[in-house]
Amino acid sequence: MSAPHKRGYLQSRARAAARRNAVQALYQWEMNQQDIELVISEFQTDRSELQKADLEYFCELLRGVSQRRETLAERLAPHLSRPFDRLDPVERAVLLLAVYELLHRPELPWRVVVNEAIELAKMFGAEQSHRFVNGVLDAAARAIRTAEAGAT
């Protein structure tokens, strides 16, 4: 593997680790109603897996989602079959993370965002939650990234 490809691969793996930890941290944040900075601090202290993650991206995701939770939930609402606050907490965390990336990380292809979210739902969610996440995010991505999603 050439140096630029290896660097891109390692960055991709570090971002995936950041997302994995971010879903767990968002779950903790929502369940315990803790200040997001406290959650970040706890994860930095207590998590060996965070050493493999892009720490800057992890922090951006947590701060971004926590600061924009209501707006992100509103962007998801038209694509949900039930009220956002009645979703499973893991599904909420995955969906918030993904819609944040769709809105605030336009350099990430929408299919990458959706696929990463599906993998997180498979990893942490209930048995069929990945199907629900896929359907919601596919619709949300097409609404948010109209030009990009419409071209595929």
pTM of the complete model: 0.90
Question: pLDDT tens for residues 29-58?
Answer: 999 999 999 999 999 887 777 888 999 999
Q: Identify the pLDDT of residue 151.
A: 52
Continuous segment of H or E residues that includes residue 18: helix 3-32
Contact predicate 136/96, CB 8 Å: no
Distance CA 18, CA 34 (A): 20
* 2: DSSP letter: -
How many percent of the chain have pLDDT more than 90?
76
Question: Model confidence over 74-123: pLDDT tens digits?
Answer: 999 999 999 999 999 999 999 999 999 999 999 999 999 999 999 999 99
Which residue is associated with the tokens 């968002």?
26
Q: Name the band, by pLDDT with cuts 50, 70 and 90, for residue 140.
A: very high
In CATH terms, the superfamily for domain 3-150 is NusB-like (1.10.940.10)
Residue 6, pLDDT above cutoff 70: no
Residue ranges of domains in the chain: 3-150
